[in-house]
Amino acid sequence: METRVKRILLATALEDLETDVLEQAISQAGLCGVPITVMHALEPLSDFGQSLVDTYLLPETGAELYQQKVAHVKEELYKRVQVFCQQGGAEAPIDDIRVVEGRPDSVILETAESINAGLIVIGAHRHSRAAEALLGTTAIRVLHNAKVPVLVVPIRN
């Protein structure tokens, strides 16, 4: 019997790669016998921020700084996963780490579809009801718009 889940997408903000979220993703991957893709959504600069970059930096310099930032984020994600695994004695079946630019909920859903993820694992902070009603949260938007199951792991503040 073939399992429907062939890959898990672990969507994380860099500061949110918490033990509980990573532990749940690794646990689910172990149960399903599938690899994990870890991704971080890098929000684009606002129009004002981009205009400042364009005004004060040469295009090549801006592009180089951006690539350095992406490389740094990937390296940081990799290090955090390795530290977690060394402390817990577990092996993480992570075969891909991605940094994708765009609105977090949109790029999470697009990435899940492009890699044929059968499960999305995402952490969620507790917000006030007013903040959630006005702004929503990435986890809620992913949960409501995903085509595959979503495991939302509470992040302790």
In three state form, how does the secondary structure of the chain look?
CCCCCCCEEEECCHHHCCHHHHHHHHHHHHHHCCCEEEEEEECCCCHHHHHHHHHHCCHHHHHHHHHHHHHHHHHHHHHHHHHHHHHHCCCCCEEEEEEEECCHHHHHHHHHHHCCCCEEEEEECCCCHHHHHHHCCHHHHHHHHCCCCEEEEECCC
Confidence of residue 134 (pLDDT cuts 50, 70, 90): very low
Tell me the Ramachandran region of residue 127: left when phi exceeds 0, alpha when psi lies from -120 to 50, beta otherwise: beta
Tell me, what's the pLDDT at 146? 95
Q: Let me know if residue 36 belongs to a domain.
A: yes
Backbone angles phi, psi at 149, to 5 degrees: -60, 150
Q: Let me know if residue 95 belongs to a domain.
A: yes
Cα angle for residues 40, 45, 119 (degrees, 5° grid): 20
Q: What is the CATH number of the domain that holds 128?
A: 3.40.50.620
pLDDT higher than 80, residue 135: no
pLDDT higher than 80, residue 44: no
Give the predicted TM-score (pTM) of the model: 0.80
Q: Let me know if residue 76 belongs to a domain.
A: yes
Confidence of residue 128 (pLDDT cuts 50, 70, 90): low
Tell me, what's the pLDDT at 75? 87
Q: What value does the mean pLDDT take over residues 124-143?
A: 70
For 51-98, how does the pLDDT look when each residue is reduced to its tens digit (9 = 90+)? 777 787 777 887 788 888 888 888 888 887 777 777 766 677 888 889
For 9-31, how does the pLDDT look when each residue is reduced to its tens digit (9 = 90+)? 999 876 656 678 888 898 898 88
Structural domain boundaries enclosing 41: 8-154
Q: Let me know if residue 3 belongs to a domain.
A: no
> Which tops the pLDDT comparison, 134 or 145?
145
Question: Worst-scoring range by mean pLDDT, 36-50, 65-79, 104-118, 119-133?
Answer: 119-133
Q: Let me know if residue 2 belongs to a domain.
A: no
The DSSP H or E segment spanning 124 is: strand 119-124
Q: How many domains does the chain have?
A: 1
Q: Let me know if residue 1 belongs to a domain.
A: no
Tell me, what's the pLDDT at 81? 77
pLDDT higher than 70, residue 6: yes
